Chains A and B, each alone.
Chain A
Amino acid sequence: MAQDQANEPARVFNMYKKMLLIRAFEEAAGENFHAGNIRGSVHQYIGEEAIAVGICANLRKDDLLTSYHRGHGHSIAKGADPRAMMLELFGRVGGTSGGKGGSMHIADFSVGMLGANGVIADGCTISVGAAQAIKLLKQDKIVVNFIGDGGINRGPFMESLNWAKIYNLPVLFVCENNQIAATTTTKSVTAGDGIAARAESYGIPAITIDGNDLLLVDSTSARIIDEIRSGSGPQLIQAMTYRLRGHFAHDKALYRIPGEAEAALEYEPVRRTETWLAEHGIPEKDLARARDEADRQISQYVDDAHAAPWPEIAEAFTDVQDVGAPEMGVS
């Protein structure tokens, strides 16, 4: 994207629609989790949508992306089919992984989305390896590794920073700093000057931005992704944000300081983008239509998921491995 396109209303409106789709998806996922239609766990991305959307708006379809347990937003932003994702959350035929992975293992390799991940920071090492493959195959793709602030105290994150730098790999680390890891504030368990300082200590350029400012995420990542594709080596964006919901959908976030979440609503990205669009000539009726369209679309996917068949039992025994594959009924 050219820098001067960053604040064009038509582009921002398109990104806004993507954010609405993620928001509607996450609301529906939460509701159906509470209703018992979705089992396991659901980690909602509500309040953080501008990061995934702003970054992915600057990626090509063949660029690669890795995510973590809060991965629905990254997948939709990268171009995964939200209908197939909803079916996956319901564990049904037609899900992105045929119902074998669920929420924490959402993936769509057809759009370069190499998987959410149930293990914190494991996406980091996978990302640097994928970038090494890109170099070996002489491709001009890049890899974006999304990680939460809770991941920065795991060894694989620090190993991967070092690794990406020494081999000058085309990796963009995006730390979505919502400031709390499950129920523990990251600040209270992290030494030193924080995430950006850690990257800089490895010689990796790092920038801290307001991750709820869609236009800023868009313009910043446009520049950085361009640099990485041109051979700058790895870079890191620390995107400050706020998780408007609990760690997972049943978490009532009772550890929050009273009033904190309410105050954060003022800075949440969907509303902010909406205000900006209204100020830049997009009529309210268009914004309302976009909201309705996202809700309608996701609600249709929920209906589809309810109606979709359960997988055949035999599916449990497929795609384990080629050599020494299991046989159904044989332990």
Chain B
Amino acid sequence: MTEMTYAQAARLGLKEELERDPKVWALGEDLGFEGGMAGQYKDLQAEFGIDRIVDTPISESTIMGAAIGAALAGTRPIAELRFSDFAMCAVDELVNQAAKARYMFGGQARVPMVARMPIGIRGGIAAQHSQSPEAWYAHVPGLVVVTPATPSDNRGLLKAAIRCDDPVVYMEHKGLWGLVGEVNENDVEPLPLGKARIVQEGSDLTIVTWAAMVSVVEKAAIKLAEEGISTEVIDLRTLWPWDRDAVFSSVIKTGRMMVVHEAVQVGGFGGEISSEVTEHLFDNLKGPVKRMGGARIPIPFSIPLEASYMISEEQVVAKARSFFS
């Protein structure tokens, strides 16, 4: 094992797939000189050429649409949209074309592409660069939605997304680019899509979370343990498909569940998980299912205002405690 950042691990996974399959290529703004916003494409253009690491104009609709056309025509493109906020310029292409081509053409087509669109708060980039719209895409039939939380997962899940024959919305969290973690120095198999990671086992309470909230919840769980509350932490890794089996078996064991996500709570994916658990495991529950998500406000700029949107370790601890008081 070796240590590297979340961004470096993604770069490694991408490099391995570019080497493995000549049909894999990437297109987006500033991939060459800049090497991507966090270096996730660093020096790959020099190695693989300008036709496989393609610098594009600022034309989000065409970045997405061209990836779809290229996927239909036999390649495996990775469309880099830089920010999930900018990807909104290409929602039509993703939702009306990529997600539906296979179905509406009766199985004649496959759209093996990755739409890479980082989510989340990264400190002061405010309302149009900080959003977490992952629930939107989980709502769309045909799409797979991936939200990696660790360096190792950001390599294994990206590899899986590239090899997947479905269009995959791949949502790295910008706040995690610099996160350091252990990564296998040898080439690894892709991680299965739809399989959650049990971050920590516990017996009193299940907390389901993903992306940047995983480490916040992990720290909260340590504090809760000091108070005698044994918390099982589940990192979903993918929102569609989400690992019902992992969540259900955990809730059957603990009898309590809370979902924590950075995205706005109203209409967030936590609602879906809460509802499924309540409907199917009502008799196993010792209390109401709880949710924690962002307030329904645009992400503010100023330090204290932005902080007020974010979910802290303390807030998670307090909410978890409320199950037992």
Q: How many angstroms from the CA of A135 to the CA of B106 in the assembled complex?
A: 27
Q: How many angstroms from the CA of A318 to the CA of B141 in the assembled complex?
A: 12
Residues A105 and B104 in contact in the complex (CB < 8 Å), given A122-B65, A122-B96: yes
- A321 B142 Cβ-Cβ under 8 A: yes
Specify which of A64, A129, A143, A162 is in contact with B57 (CB 8 Å cutoff): A162
| Contact of A119 with B by CB under 8 A | yes
- A107 B69 Cβ-Cβ under 8 A: no
| Contact of A189 with B by CB under 8 A | no
> Nearest residue in A to B76 (C-beta to C-beta)?
A133
Q: How many angstroms from the CA of A321 to the CA of B109 in the assembled complex?
A: 11
Chain B proximity mask over A286-327: 1 for CB below 8 Å, otherwise 0: 000000000000000000000000000000001111111010
Residues A322 and B101 in contact in the complex (CB < 8 Å), given A95-B106, A159-B59: no
Which of chain B's residues 121-174 have a Cβ closer than 8 Å to chain A?
141-144, 164-166
Specify which of A101, A125, A127, A162 is in contact with B64 (CB 8 Å cutoff): A125
- A101 B104 Cβ-Cβ under 8 A: yes
Residues A134 and B241 in contact in the complex (CB < 8 Å), given A125-B65, A163-B59: no
Chain B proximity mask over A99-132: 1 for CB below 8 Å, otherwise 0: 1110001011110001101110010111111111
- A320 B73 Cβ-Cβ under 8 A: no
> Nearest residue in B to A110 (C-beta to C-beta)?
B108
Which of chain B's residues 78-131 have a Cβ closer than 8 Å to chain A?
92-93, 96-97, 101-109
CB distance from B317 to the nearest CB of A (A): 33
Specify which of A119, A135, A323 is in contact with B97 (CB 8 Å cutoff): A119
CB distance from A152 to the nearest CB of B (A): 15
| Contact of B215 with A by CB under 8 A | no
CB distance from A270 to the nearest CB of B (A): 30
Specify which of B59, B62, B103 is in contact with A320 (CB 8 Å cutoff): B103
- B57 A326 Cβ-Cβ under 8 A: no
- A127 B104 Cβ-Cβ under 8 A: no
| Contact of B176 with A by CB under 8 A | no
- B102 A321 Cβ-Cβ under 8 A: yes
**Contacting residues, chain B, for A320 (C-beta < 8 A):** 102-103, 141-142
| Contact of B68 with A by CB under 8 A | yes
**Contacting residues, chain A, for B25 (C-beta < 8 A):** 136
CB distance from B74 to the nearest CB of A (A): 6
| Contact of A156 with B by CB under 8 A | yes
Specify which of B56, B104, B105, B193 is in contact with A109 (CB 8 Å cutoff): B105
| Contact of B67 with A by CB under 8 A | yes
**Contacting residues, chain A, for B77 (C-beta < 8 A):** 129, 133
CB distance from B134 to the nearest CB of A (A): 14
Q: How many angstroms from the CA of A110 to the CA of B251 in the assembled complex?
A: 49
- A324 B61 Cβ-Cβ under 8 A: no
> Nearest residue in B to A126 (C-beta to C-beta)?
B69
Specify which of B93, B164, B165, B240 is in contact with A125 (CB 8 Å cutoff): B93
Chain B residues touching A, range: 35 or more
**Contacting residues, chain A, for B240 (C-beta < 8 A):** 324
CB distance from A321 to the nearest CB of B (A): 4
**Contacting residues, chain B, for A66 (C-beta < 8 A):** 69
Most chain B CB within a 10 A radius of its CB, from A105, A132, A134, A156: A132
| Contact of B66 with A by CB under 8 A | yes
**Contacting residues, chain B, for A264 (C-beta < 8 A):** none
> Nearest residue in B to A125 (C-beta to C-beta)?
B65
- A324 B97 Cβ-Cβ under 8 A: no
- A101 B65 Cβ-Cβ under 8 A: no
CB distance from B94 to the nearest CB of A (A): 11
Chain A proximity mask over B210-245: 1 for CB below 8 Å, otherwise 0: 000000000000000000000000000010110000
Most chain B CB within a 10 A radius of its CB, from A125, A143, A159, A322: A125
**Contacting residues, chain B, for A143 (C-beta < 8 A):** 69
- A136 B75 Cβ-Cβ under 8 A: yes
- B106 A128 Cβ-Cβ under 8 A: no
Q: How many angstroms from the CA of A268 to the CA of B237 in the assembled complex?
A: 59
| Contact of A166 with B by CB under 8 A | yes
Q: How many angstroms from the CA of A143 to the CA of B73 in the assembled complex?
A: 10
Specify which of A99, A125, A322 is in contact with B66 (CB 8 Å cutoff): A125
Which of chain B's residues 36-74 have a Cβ closer than 8 Å to chain A?
51-52, 54, 56-57, 59, 61-62, 64-74
| Contact of B35 with A by CB under 8 A | no
- A324 B69 Cβ-Cβ under 8 A: no
**Contacting residues, chain A, for B66 (C-beta < 8 A):** 125-126, 128-129, 132, 163
| Contact of B194 with A by CB under 8 A | yes
Q: How many angstroms from the CA of A323 to the CA of B195 in the assembled complex?
A: 11
- B107 A319 Cβ-Cβ under 8 A: yes
Q: How many angstroms from the CA of A323 to the CA of B145 in the assembled complex?
A: 10
Residues A155 and B97 in contact in the complex (CB < 8 Å), given A107-B108, A133-B74, A321-B166: no
- B105 A125 Cβ-Cβ under 8 A: no
Q: How many angstroms from the CA of A41 to the CA of B145 in the assembled complex?
A: 33
CB distance from A117 to the nearest CB of B (A): 8
Most chain A CB within a 10 A radius of its CB, from B72, B143, B166: B72
- A159 B166 Cβ-Cβ under 8 A: no
> Nearest residue in B to A100 (C-beta to C-beta)?
B106
**Contacting residues, chain A, for B97 (C-beta < 8 A):** 117, 119, 122, 126
Specify which of B72, B104, B142, B144 is in contact with A97 (CB 8 Å cutoff): B104
Residues A130 and B62 in contact in the complex (CB < 8 Å), given A109-B108, A320-B142: no
- A130 B69 Cβ-Cβ under 8 A: yes
**Contacting residues, chain B, for A132 (C-beta < 8 A):** 27, 54, 66, 69-70, 75
| Contact of A98 with B by CB under 8 A | yes
- Given A115-B104, A133-B77, 4 extra CB contacts under 8 A: A98-B107, A101-B106, A105-B105, A136-B25
CB<8 Å pairs between A and B, sample of 6 = A114-B69, A125-B61, A128-B65, A319-B102, A324-B241, A326-B141
Residues of B within 8 A of A (CB): 23, 25, 27, 51-52, 54, 56-57, 59, 61-62, 64-75, 77, 92-93, 96-97, 101-109, 141-144, 164-166, 193-194, 238, 240-241
List 5 A-B pairs, minimum CB-CB distance, nearest first: A125-B65, A129-B69, A324-B241, A129-B66, A97-B106
